[in-house]
């Protein structure tokens, strides 16, 4: 996806999910990889507010009583510029 103008001064994306407890939620935890970071950062979803990430995982570590079919979600390959022709494709 490419935008006519860069997104500046605000969030690029927001996710909405149901959360009551760790075992009664669509998403209970988030893990993300930030540019030039040595590894992944992981935390509970409620205290998480924002990040500048190249990759993001949102999901659960334990089964949910609310929605047992809610999948973990992975968003990746965020970058400031579109990839060059012939560059590696997004990992699925």
In this predicted model, what pLDDT tens digit does every residue of 52-63 receive, in sequence order? 888 999 999 988
pLDDT-flagged residues of the chain (< 70): 1-2, 11, 80, 82-83, 86-92
Name the residue ranges covered by the structural domains of the chain.
19-76
Are 64 and 70 within 8 A, CB to CB?
yes
**In degrees, to the nearest 5, what angle opens at C-alpha 91 toward C-alphas 42 and 59?**
35
The model's pTM: 0.71
DSSP reduced 3-state for 43: strand
Are 64 and 45 within 8 A, CB to CB?
no
Residue 2 and residue 48: Cα distance in Å, rounded? 27
Residue 7 and residue 69: Cα distance in Å, rounded? 33
């Amino acid at each position: 996806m490419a935008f006519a103008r860069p997104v500046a001064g605000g969030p690029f994306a927001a996710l909405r999910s149901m959360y009551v407890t760790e075992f009664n939620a669509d998403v209970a935890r988030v893990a993300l990889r930030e540019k030039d970071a040595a590894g992944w950062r992981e935390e509970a979803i409620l205290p998480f507010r924002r990040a500048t990430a190249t990759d993001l995982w949102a999901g659960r570590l334990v089964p949910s009583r609310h929605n047992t079919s809610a999948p973990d979600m992975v968003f990746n390959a965020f970058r400031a510029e579109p990839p060059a022709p012939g560059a590696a494709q997004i990992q699925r």
